[in-house]
Amino acid sequence: MAQAIVVLDFGSQYTQVIARRIREAKVYSKVLPYDTPVSEIRKIDPVGLVLSGGPASVLAKGAPKPSKQLFNLGIPMLGICYGLQLMGKMLGGEVKSSQRREYGRGKLSINRKGPLFKGLTKNFTVWNSHGDCLTKLPSGFRELARTENSSFAAIEDPKRKFYGLQFHPEVEHSEHGTEIIRNFLVGVCGCKGDWSMEDFTESSIRNIRSQVGDRRVILGLSGGVDSSVAAALIHRAIGNQLTCIFVDNGLLRLNEREQVKQLFKNHIPGKLKVACAGALFLNRLKGVTNPETKRKIIGKTFIQVFDDEVKKLGDIHFLAQGTLYPDVIESVPIGGNPAALIKSHHNVGGLPKKMKLELLEPLRELFKDEVRALGRTLGLPEAVLMRHPFPGPGLGVRVVGAIHQQRLRVLREADAIFIDELISHGWYHKLWQAFCVFLPVRSVGVMGDERTYENVISLRAVTSSDAMTADWAQLPDKLLRKVSNRIINEVKGANRVVYDISSKPPSTIEWE
Ligand code: XMP
């Protein structure tokens, strides 16, 4: 059994980011609810404990509180933000609601390094988000560092190996955050740092087996990174108890259905059902031009087709989804992210409760790059793992205005050329996403001696790290010229190519 760190979750939106930082230090971590009984924690036999931040105030009635026994486990502990205040208060210190909320960047001044700040400079920038402040230390503790607003920005009880940080070392805006966490893991808890993604794969397989038992699972496969990795992982765990369903909604890219079948044949040798429902989708979308209406129709029809396939399979207990951690936060609008509300996404919670299936989400704690690393341990090809994201409604949101076969054909052919050239010029992997958009605008051109009157294709290529913000990519002239020439010469129905130079915000990545 690998050395484990338990992260107790007090509701911060960064709890999984803490777990990720621990994994980055090659240490195994397990996130548990804050009120997990101490006896359960003892069974895991962790070498250290992290108390996460959280939105509550320790001064509020009913604030989340763990059992006092937690402090008698005899293992090192790191309290972050709410975790520090909780530790301070429960061990006999004093917490007050501060006059000024400390939010955003702050300057940390270290006056005693201890093992936590070993090897770091004395002053650096950290990221804060708290209203309360520890005003009196519990006995046994001493101050390590302060910021302008809190004199106990970092504290330690060297005897019991208890540490507290008022700021968030796990977020990227905190300088040296990774080193501080590593110092706690290695310097304080004595972790060896020899845990790997292979270990994660193995433990996920064990967990899936014990959760599923001998029951059956279905998974909606899109051919994208997340659902492919989830399928490969679950198949490795339970073999033919898994059935994957791939819905061809008629809005896929060139040859996409064949590629998914091929992926399955070569790498996930399990049961795959392909539902060819293009005609149904396109029929329902006939004449519809409003982007949200299109999305709703596509979403609803998908659920219906999927549900019909599930019914045909008989006794199914689990619905597996390749939900990632960022999908989870994007779908929770609290404190966060209005972007999820701008367009109706359907990654999370998209399938209706009436299906009465239990969810199986083995990637829920992971971030995209970790999912790719997991996929590598399962032997999936790079072409699948490094694939750009593709929206659920597919080309339906890339044909502006009404959707019909002839427009889809033009778009598919143009898009395949763009992607082909990006790959051969070595640009595909430098981009977050790249695709073509069909514009229902006709313009005049001349080909040979003939006048043409055809549609416009817009190229979209963006760089981004999380799709929340994005910048248009400065593709080389030579590449743009080649793509434009090829599309106009090879794709019947397009006689003009434009390049979209809008960033997000204020634009979005997809056009609809
Ligand atoms: P926008 O257009 O909102 O897109 O800037 C952000 C990212 O989300 C993808 N996207 C979707 N993905 N279902 C999905 O699974 C959807 O309905 C959907 N809409 C947009 C988009 O491709 C980009 O990566």
Instruction: Fill in the DSSP letter of residue 504.
Output: B
Q: Would you say 134 and 150 are in contact if contact means Cβ atoms under 8 Å apart?
A: yes
Residue 98's pLDDT is what? 74
What distance in angstroms lies between residue 391's CA and the mean position of ligand 1's atoms?
Answer: 5
Residue 121's pLDDT is what? 96
- Dihedral angle, C-alpha 169, 37, 186, 172, nearest 10 °: -20
Which residues are the active-site residues? Answer: 81, 168, 170
* pLDDT of residue 50 exceeding 60: yes
- pLDDT-derived band at 328, boundaries 50, 70, 90: low
Ligand 1 pocket test target in 324, 415, 458, 510 with most atoms within 8 Å of CB: 510
Q: How many CB atoms lie within 10 A of CB 264?
A: 22
Q: In this structure, which amino acid lies at residue 42? A: R
* pLDDT of residue 354 exceeding 80: no
Token pair for 237? 């765990």
**Atom 22 of ligand 1: nearest residue by CA position:** 391
pTM: 0.84
- pLDDT-derived band at 341, boundaries 50, 70, 90: very low
* pLDDT of residue 89 exceeding 60: yes
Residue with tokens 């490094």: 386
* pLDDT of residue 258 exceeding 80: yes
Task: For residues 440 and 412, give the distance between their C-alpha atoms in angstroms, rounded to a whole number.
Answer: 15
381 vs 346: which has the higher pLDDT:
381
Domains of the chain, start order: 4-188 (3.40.50.880), 197-282+302-324+357-385 (3.40.50.620), 398-499 (3.30.300.10)
Q: Would you say 140 and 160 are in contact if contact means Cβ atoms under 8 Å apart?
A: yes
- pLDDT-derived band at 466, boundaries 50, 70, 90: confident
Q: Of all atoms in ligand 1, which is nearest to the CA of residue 390? A: 22
Token pair for 467? 């799709």
Token pair for 255? 């040859």
What distance in angstroms lies between residue 144's CA and the mean position of ligand 1's atoms?
Answer: 44
Angle between the N-to-C axes of helices 368-377 and 225-238, in degrees from 0 to 180, rounded to the nearest 10 = 40
What distance in angstroms lies between residue 371's CA and the mean position of ligand 1's atoms?
Answer: 18
Q: Would you say 356 and 270 are in contact if contact means Cβ atoms under 8 Å apart?
A: no
Which candidate, 415, 490, 493, 485, places its Cα nearest to that of 456?
A: 493
Q: Of all atoms in ligand 1, which is nearest to the CA of residue 343? A: 3
**Atom 7 of ligand 1: nearest residue by CA position:** 467
Task: For residues 39 and 7, give the distance between their C-alpha atoms in angstroms, rounded to a whole number.
Answer: 15
Residues with CB under 6 A from ligand 1: 343, 345-347, 389, 391-393, 433, 467, 504, 508-510
Q: How many CB atoms lie within 10 A of CB 479?
A: 17
What distance in angstroms lies between residue 295's CA and the mean position of ligand 1's atoms?
Answer: 11
Phi-psi region at 426: left, alpha or beta (left = phi > 0; alpha = psi -120 to 50): left
CA angle 230, 236, 238 (to 5 degrees): 95
pLDDT in tens, 135-162: 999 999 999 999 988 889 999 999 999 9
**Atom 18 of ligand 1: nearest residue by CA position:** 391
What distance in angstroms lies between residue 436's CA and the mean position of ligand 1's atoms?
Answer: 15
